Amino acid sequence: MTALKQTCAALLRDKNFIQHTWCDARDGRRMDVIDPASGETIGSVPDSGAADALAAVDAAQAVFPAWAARPAAERARLLKRWHALILSNQEALGSLISLEQGKPLKEGIGEVLYGAAYVDWFAAEATRGYGDIIPEAVPGRKMMVLKEPVGVVAAITPWNFPLAMIARKIAPALAAGCTVIAKPAEDTPLTALALVWLAGQAGFPEGVLNIVTASRERAPEVVDVWLADSRVRKITFTGSTPVGKHLARESAGTLKRLSLELGGNAPFIVFDDADLDAAVDGLMASKFRNGGQTCVCPNRIYVQDGVHDDFVSRLSKQVAALAVGPATHPDSQIGPMINARAVEKIERHVKDAVRLGARVMVGGERVRNAVADGPNYYLPTVLTQATPEMALSCEETFGPVAPVFRFHTEQDVIAQANDTPFGLAAYFYSNDVRRIWRVAQALETGIVGINEGAIAAEAAPFGGVKESGYGREGSRYGLDDYTQTKYLCQGNLG
């Protein structure tokens, strides 16, 4: 921990940022931030409540008209400056991510570059918020369409990508001319505070970007204020489906706009005609990134009869070779899970699967040794003979567990893949061009990886269907979520 903390020391901030001022919670409450690798305390931040939430809305609302009126090119310039500062602090930010979230340092820095790419993308998109001129229907009458910012946006983010998740919400909101109030997850507030501090250095005006931190217990108190306040015009949320549904229900009273990036249950399908080396590599990349704690991680791996045993044996070999350890260890590929609750869920899923007939090929238990010396480590695991009755088939495991289901026909596997309320990502491997189009269209998800395990990119629309939510982040569609359409009709011009 000490080495990481030294690298990011200059970026450590331990207060809320409201109206361009670093401040404590109004009632002085604080909460500890914990290193998931060792269980030790890294520092503390405000445990904010309703009064802080309200102050953030006041600040964001007061400056909104002026910020919305700024020329798009000016907003773009500030975003570009912020982007440059993020890049020049990539090692410190990456260390901070690894410190509070636990991912290996290489992945921490990778996340900084990934998040920064969204800032860069939306800096450019800021200048492309085009409207329309509609061809005249009546002589002497002009019809025009303007894209306007929606207003104050509340951004609520999870812990698994402490920088990228918040960057890809703040950047399009500011680009569109919205002002922002943000609440990061309890487990990872420090990266968000550092990012906001860098935005301040970039020169964003007072009140445009505000952040409050809160504990798991007090998060509802903060967010309830935002849900009830009619000045907050949009909620952009990444997190679990139950909390997303709660936000949708509670924001109905003021009919806010919503972007909901929720849980997934991604299928990963390997057909008999697939390139098996590519499929194993794709699965390793998509399943074990961030220790399996990503919303687009394959949660159910379907392998066709003809290649099942070969695939399992190649996969098991690679999984057994993964090094588990803290972010600071140069060889670590799988860090600790975020907290005790996360490890308990993984353990429950594996035990339930084994009870129902799954076979453990690799892993299947917690690990604690000289390198992985902490309470939250779980061995990368491969299970076979997985079935739909198992809990890991219907719930996100959110850990380094790869359950393999055997299947017989394309029709069967499509039915199984779609037999879930979730619809975020899906992956499949096949070399049959006709099958590729059939399967890609039949999968009920917002994202499909075809012979590819790395799918996220700032230029692509990221988001789900069904109970994985709605709205898209990134791409040319990403700005739409933060704008509203105004129609102007000017008559008597003839």
Which residues are near ligand NAP by CB under 6 A? 156-160, 183, 185-186, 216, 219-220, 223, 238-240, 243, 246, 261-264, 295, 396, 424, 464
Instruction: Rank residues 218 and 314 by Cβ distance to ligand NAP and give the closer one.
Output: 218
Q: Least distance from C-beta 71 to ligand NAP, angstroms?
A: 31
Q: Least distance from C-beta 438 to ligand NAP, angstroms?
A: 26
User: Kind of pairing, strands 483-490 and 142-149?
Assistant: antiparallel
Closest-approach residue to ligand NAP (CB): 239
Q: Least distance from C-beta 95 to ligand NAP, angstroms?
A: 21
How far apart are the C-alpha atoms of 198 and 491, rounded to whole Å? 47
Q: Does residue 261 have an active-site annotation?
A: yes
Three-class secondary structure of residue 296 per DSSP: coil
Closest CA to 421 of 275, 245, 158, 254: 245
Amino acid identity at 321: A
Q: Least distance from C-beta 30 to ligand NAP, angstroms?
A: 14
Q: How far is CA 122 from CA 159, 178, 210, 479, in A?
A: 23, 13, 19, 8
In degrees and rounded to multiples of 5, residue 298 shows phi and psi of -55, 130
Instruction: Rank residues 30 and 246 by Cβ distance to ligand NAP and give the closer one.
Output: 246
Q: Which listed residue (8, 178, 295, 297) is catalytic?
A: 295
Q: Which helix (H) or strand (E) holds 242?
A: helix 241-250
Instruction: Rank residues 316 and 397 by Cβ distance to ligand NAP and give the closer one.
Output: 397
Q: Least distance from C-beta 297 to ligand NAP, angstroms?
A: 8
Place of tokens 């309830």: 224
Q: Least distance from C-beta 81 to ligand NAP, angstroms?
A: 27
Instruction: Rank residues 140 and 242 by Cβ distance to ligand NAP and give the closer one.
Output: 242
Q: Does residue 91 have an active-site annotation?
A: no
Closest CA to 188 of 161, 164, 212, 223: 161
- Cβ contact 163:195 at 8 Å: yes
How far apart are the C-alpha atoms of 235 and 213, rounded to whole Å? 17
Burial class (CB in 10 A: 0-12, 13-18, 19+), 135: exposed
For 396-405, b/e burial (b = at least 16 CB within 10 A) is bbbbbbbbbb
Handedness of CA 107, 111, 113, 117 (dihedral sign): positive
How far apart are the C-alpha atoms of 245 and 347, rounded to whole Å? 27
- Locate 73 and state its tokens: 């090119």
- Locate 397 and state its tokens: 């495991």
- Locate 230 and state its tokens: 């009619």
Closest CA to 480 of 101, 104, 128: 128
Instruction: Rank residues 22 and 470 by Cβ distance to ligand NAP and give the closer one.
Output: 470
Q: Which listed residue (186, 261, 396, 467) is catalytic?
A: 261
Q: Least distance from C-beta 92 to ligand NAP, angstroms?
A: 23
Among all residues, which ones are annotated catalytic? 261, 295
